[in-house]
Structure 1
């Protein structure tokens, strides 16, 4: 539980608080041009699955920050489509797939919307700086999704960081139960490719896509 853990402060260089984001940031992806996508607003329903009615009034968002303009604030990206009307957005992990020929940017976002977890897919309009909702992906193997790693325009790896929710989730962590896993969605269905892990969290690929 971290009782004997030592924390060493480290600063890689000058830093500052970036204004614009109120409800924290869970994940970030930076494009080669310096534009960053930031997920903000993950709520406790990831663990409680909506047992607190106040959570249903909570709304998250995806922000952008330009590292080429480090003195500016992070800005909320408008979303076009029915995702906010149909599901609401409580984002967790995110990742980007970018077409090497056209430069098209597609964003995959873990969305915790009770009683299920889904992956929301957006296309990013770089001229208008808006996200266009493409589709919502749901599968029975998405039950405690933490992060996603895109492998193509419709495929991705994902992590389930646990099996239970609520008080059972607390004991799952304290007892070090290896009940998390890594899955792969091929564009049609999901399958588990690595099972019996302990609280798998973020997932990524190396620069050579391995």
Structure 2
């Protein structure tokens, strides 16, 4: 039942719902070439089914119960930094946002994480809901950049990580009024990074209406060390970000368009579009393998399931399928190393691969570690 428009929010809510209904009736989808009903079915992945398979033995990593929505490999020191507690941004106030780490070793006797302590006088951890993570390593110094997706504080939090003490020292926050639904961050040099903004509206009914209408109001912003500037506008749901080892290519995922756009990073930090990779699944996290340039992608293969998970972040019975794709950096052949119907890991949102170790992080639940037995054919 619609609320009467006795307030501005009520009127906006009614207009948003009416806009969605007009969209579904009009049939304006893919240039009007297919019916609105078919369009809606394809967008929500109502036609898909997921079949379970793994690249080798897998096990649940201990120490993570509140999600691993973001994963960042710091290759120089062999650790993966993990963002936890994203459910706090979706109304589950019993969950506390934080960061953890896991050490990757050739032979892992234990598969467990350790919480990372955060220090900083001006840092409010009660308003911290971490999502995307990126890092920059230089001369033994590790800088960590974390997207804070808390509804009251949409910022990129910048830390210095001390591995010996396992402590993150908060340096500063980069905030902007245009940050309404920031998703991921990718660092190109010290304190210079790109930020993806999924939609024009913040989370809620209006954003849902915006996404259902498949509007292209997402954006890519750039922070040059001093100010935030708009780099790319009119993007459709820009989500995951990544950069290659040579720092010459930027990868931008699109949740609704189910693809990854590849840009060349110029010397002045401008972007030149190069190509587009079709996935037929919604990318949520991207990892670029340093040695050969292979692209590892965590995806939501059945989008309506992922949407339901965000509506009920504290209900373990509501599950979403998980998927990992790998694109060969040379041949561009796409394979599927991992898929699950949500029983083992729900709503895969992040992925890291390093030396036969595959880590898959969920939005609100577990962290999974798999041994990749045949990396050449996975």
TM-score, normalised on structure 2?
0.50
Q: State the Cα RMSD in Å.
A: 1.9
Aligned to 1:85: 124
Cα distance in 2, alignment partners of residues 124 and 147 from structure 1:
19
Aligned to 2:78: 34
- 2:152 aligned with 1:115, yes or no? yes
Deviation at 1:27, TM superposition (A): 1.0
Q: Which of the two has greater helix per residue?
A: 2
Cα offsets for 1:120-169 (capped at 9, x unmatched): 11000121111111111112232210000012221110100111131011
Q: Equivalent residues in 2 for 1:191-202 (5 A)? A: 191-202=229-240
Distance 1:40 1:83, change over 3 A: farther
Aligned to 1:74: 113
Cα distance in 2, alignment partners of residues 12 and 187 from structure 1:
41
Structure 1 runs of 4+ off > 2 angstroms?
6-10, 43-46, 82-88, 112-116
Aligned to 1:124: 161
- 2:246 aligned with 1:208, yes or no? yes
- Is this contact kept in 2: 1:87–1:113, CA < 8 A? no
Cα distance in 2, alignment partners of residues 197 and 73 from structure 1:
38
Aligned to 1:13: 56
Larger Rg: 2
Unaligned runs of 5+ in 2: 1-43, 249-378
Cα distance in 2, alignment partners of residues 98 and 127 from structure 1:
15
Distance 1:65 1:86, change over 3 A: closer
Q: Which of the two has greater strand per residue?
A: 2
Q: Equivalent residues in 2 for 1:53-64 (5 A)? A: 55=93, 58-64=95-101
Cα distance in 1, alignment partners of residues 122 and 61 from structure 2:
27
Q: Say which is worse superposed, 163-172 or 85-94, in terms of deviation.
A: 85-94
Aligned to 1:98: 137
- Is this contact kept in 1: 2:66–2:95, CA < 8 A? no
Aligned length: 201
Cα offsets for 1:43-63 (capped at 9, x unmatched): 3636xxxxx5x63x6421111
Cα offsets for 1:48-81 (capped at 9, x unmatched): xxxx5x63x6421111011114623111101111
Cα distance in 2, alignment partners of residues 162 and 103 from structure 1:
37
